[in-house]
Amino acid sequence: MTQTDDPTALGLVALVDAMAEGRLRPSKAIEAFIARIEALEPTIQAFAHFDAGQLREAARMRDGQPPEGCLYGAPVGIKDVFDTADMPTAYGSDFYADFRPMADAAAVCRLKEAGALIAGKTVTTEFASVAPPKTRNPHHPDFTPGGSSSGSAAAVAARMVPAALGTQTAGSVVRPAAYCGVVGYKPSFALLDRTGMKTLAQSFDTVGIFTRSVADAALVLGALGPRPSLAVPDEARDVRIGLYLPPWCALGEACASDVVRHAGTLLREAGFDIADIPALEGFDRLLEDQQAIMDWDMVQALSFELDHGGERLHPVTREALTVRRQRMSAEKYDAAWAHLDEVGAVLARCFETVDVLLVPSAPGEAPRGHANTGSSEFNRGWTSLRVPCINLPAGFGPNGMPLGVQLVGPRWRDDVLLAAAAQVERALAGHPYRA
């Protein structure tokens, strides 16, 4: 049996190569993905919209075209906060049921230009906020997949698609990636165009990428940029890694920090230059800063929905927006930005001595149940600093659910982060932490 006998088992790079070289027709690959989606979707519920006929027709058309584009023939899931002209876009809300935008979001346009096929719209929490979605964790349906990019993380983990788009405003890429055991990459803020993406908090909203390897994430990044120089990580680059346990580690389970220490030990044994980073000044206020800014931004962005949504809004969404409206303050907002400038300078000095930081991805493994999508406390500080972050699968918690570690890099140095991530990924492979 050859690898192409099961295209869903291929990573994105290998899948695209097989199709571009003529060893696999797009229509054959897509039939395999359709079969897997139809078999698993009743349990996992990763898709808000999926049309097998539409996807088949798109693949058939690719069969008759030259193999052009770095994502030629690859199916990609799209979080349902990105506008799509040929598919419904509901932003995860009954308020926008059956809404059909007139144009694709910029990120969707870039994917299509790169030859990708849009597999469908993946489930999001309402407006990418906090109301729990229908999606289940592919590793065990009794556990949450995380949020808000619930469907994208689950679909990639279940091999329904080799890649999917998500968004992160607090922790909505890195956290679900950690919970589902996949790579979740949040680029530097504003590196990727957000036109046509539903706004949650304009100060932090970032297009994110889910794949099963760092190389696959880099390939998607190169298409979305378009920044071909970022499409292949420089694995020969020397990287200095700082192991850092931020103050919010006190809010998590022991395994959240233990998996980072385990990774640090493996990397030292592999010959990496690892430095222990002491407390960084001002980090104890980062969660407060992020909350003050997000309160302000969310109320502005969703004021129409809050005022006119009525019963079509999920009660959790309505309550969250109401609390933020009551809590928001111009004084807190301004003070938060001033403090973020100070902390950003502290972090910049830290990156003069190391290239990336190795930190926890989430407070622990995915919580059991579906009443919420888990806490974003381990991600919000980094998001507020607008730096690039990536989750790498690294082990399993006490319930046997995935754990990840997070690498954080300097803003606008995504090339450095991806180079480090590719090397760390290789060093950790085959040596998972087990609680």
pTM: 0.98
* pLDDT single digits (tens) 159-182: 999 999 999 999 999 999 999 999
Compute the average pLDDT of residues 344-372. 98
What is the Cα–Cα distance from 265 to 276, expressed in whole angstroms?
11
* pLDDT single digits (tens) 323-343: 999 999 999 999 999 999 999
- Amino acid 4: pLDDT: 65
* pLDDT single digits (tens) 106-126: 999 999 999 999 999 999 999
What is the Cα–Cα distance from 291 to 255, expressed in whole angstroms?
26
Contact 126, 313 (CB under 8 A): yes
What is the Cα–Cα distance from 50 to 335, expressed in whole angstroms?
45
Three-class SS of residue 365? coil
Can you list the domains of the chain with their CATH numbers? 9-230 (3.90.1300.10), 241-282+336-434 (3.90.1300.10), 286-332 (no CATH)
Strands 75-79 and 117-122 turn out to be parallel
> Nearest-CA neighbor of 237 among 76, 409, 71, 42?
409
pLDDT-derived band at 227, boundaries 50, 70, 90: confident
Residue 337: C-alpha distances to residues 15, 38, 187, 205 (Å): 44, 47, 20, 16
| Residues tagged active-site | 79, 148, 172
Mean pLDDT (the chain, rounded)? 97
